[in-house]
Every structure is written in C-alpha cells, then in structure tokens.
A and B are shown apart, each in its own frame.
Chain A
Amino acid sequence: MPEDVPIIRMGPNLLVALQGNLDDTTVEQIERAVTGEVARTQATGTLIDVSGLSIVDSFVARVLARLVAMIRLLGAEATIVGLQPAVAITLVELGVPMGHVRTALNAEQGMARLRGSRDEPDR
C-alpha cells in the first residue's frame, strides 16, 4: 500500500524506502506518491532505497528507471540505493538497461553523493 511507503524528508532531500513483495499496481502508486511529494516539498534530491526488495523484475526495474527520469524532469536528483547483490546480478543477466540510473551502495553513500553534486557548482 502506498500509504505505508515511508517518504522521509531529510533537509532538502527525500528518502523513499521500498519494501516487501511489490505488485504492479502498488509500484505505480508509489511512483505517483513520490513524484507528488518531490513537487510538494521542492526537494532537490531523492534517494530510492531498494534494499528491502528481494526481487526486482523487468516491470519493477522499468518503473524505477521511469521514476528516476520523472524526478529529474522535476529538477531534482534521484539515486537508487541499496540494491541487493543477487538482485543486481539478476538485473544484469535479465538485460534490463539501468546504466543511465545513478546508484549508490547504501543510503549514506547516496546522501553523500547528493551533497557532492550540489556542492560542485560552487567550487
């Protein structure tokens, strides 16, 4: 249920934790909830934590890639964090194109990267 999807605000960033066994409808509801929240809070960065997902099939992967693209169109950065190793191996062999999606090992590293990409223009 999308109501149960925790969207946490951390300063200028949002942290979204996806968990459990997502069905297609729920995934699409999450997509709407997150893009709505990015626009409402005017977040500059969003971390999508998928460490709670034990399976990401081509449908879910496509929705994730689409969500990242939508958040970027809204003018915010988006990073997918915490992909489980077995899920990463599976996605590569499945052939899902995720090369353009920014990822980080975990939420901490993802957050550091969001800060880094914001600081860079000032240097």
Chain B
Amino acid sequence: MSLTAEESVTTMTINGEADLLRIRAMLRAEAQLAGLGLTAETKLVTAGSELARNIVRYATHGQGTASVERLRSEGRRGVRAAFSDSGPGIADLDEVMRDGFSTGGSLGLGLPGSRRLVDEFAIDSAAGRGTTVVIAQWAR
C-alpha cells in the first residue's frame, strides 16, 4: 500500500495504568480528525486500550510506547497506532492469537479481540526482544 503524507505522529510513553486514559483520548481525537465513524472510532479506541493494557500488564516494568499517526492513502484517511515494548516478548504468536489464551488471569481476548476490531493488525515479537503491535483503522 502506498502511504503518503503522514500528517502527524505523536508518541506517548506508557508507564502505568493511568496512561491508558491518555492513549484512549489521543486515539479518539485522531479518529475524529481522520473522519472515522463512531463505530470505527469506538473499535479503534477499544483495541488501543487492550493493547496498551497488555504493555502495562506484561511488559518489563509495564513500560512501553504508543505512537499514533494519521494516514492518507489514495484519498482515504485513517489512523495507525503502534504499541511497542522491550519486554519478555511472545514465544508462540499462534498461541496468543487464539481466543481464551492467557497467562495473566484475563479473558485472553486482548490480542485476538483487538485484531477483530480494526482494519489492519500486525504483530512482531519473539522471546526476549519485545513486542510491537501495529493497528490501523480507515474511514469508510
């Protein structure tokens, strides 16, 4: 896909649960600027909340970053968000992408559920070298 004119990139550090609120607010603001509908916006904010919470819960010291950028491609507008940490990483990606898999006592819906909520979802991780999840949502 040819992406042009990344209009803005905002990066926020994640240090704890309180940062979830800032990330949700930032995603919502960007979604509205990109012209996403309310349902697409709600799904994006929810997916971002799940992914940011994963960092708080599983990354080393609960630390990582979230960066959000507005996209424009062939006249379409969207929002892309990347969630990165340098935590323990994920050894078996297939396993964590299955509904109900959890090592943290949660519902195990964070990653597979987030994937269902957004138009694009990519995960990059390996044991010992952190995790990056990139999601994108496009205006219809």
Contacts and interface: CB of A to CB of B under 8 A. Distances in A.
Interface of A: 21, 23-25, 54-59, 62, 84-87, 89-90, 93-97
Contacts of A23: 17-18, 20-21
Nearest to B45: A55
Contacts of A62: 106-107
B39 A57 contact: no
Q: Interface of chain A, helix or strand or loop or mixed?
A: helix
Contacts of A89: 39, 42-43
Contact of B113 (A55, A56, A85, A93): A93
B46 A55 contact: yes
Contacts of B112: 95
Interface of B: 17-18, 20-21, 24-25, 28, 38-39, 41-43, 45-46, 49-50, 53, 99, 106-107, 109-110, 112-114, 116-117
A90 B36 CA distance: 15
B42 A57 contact: no
B17 A55 contact: no
Given A55-B49, A58-B50, A62-B106, A95 B42 contact: no
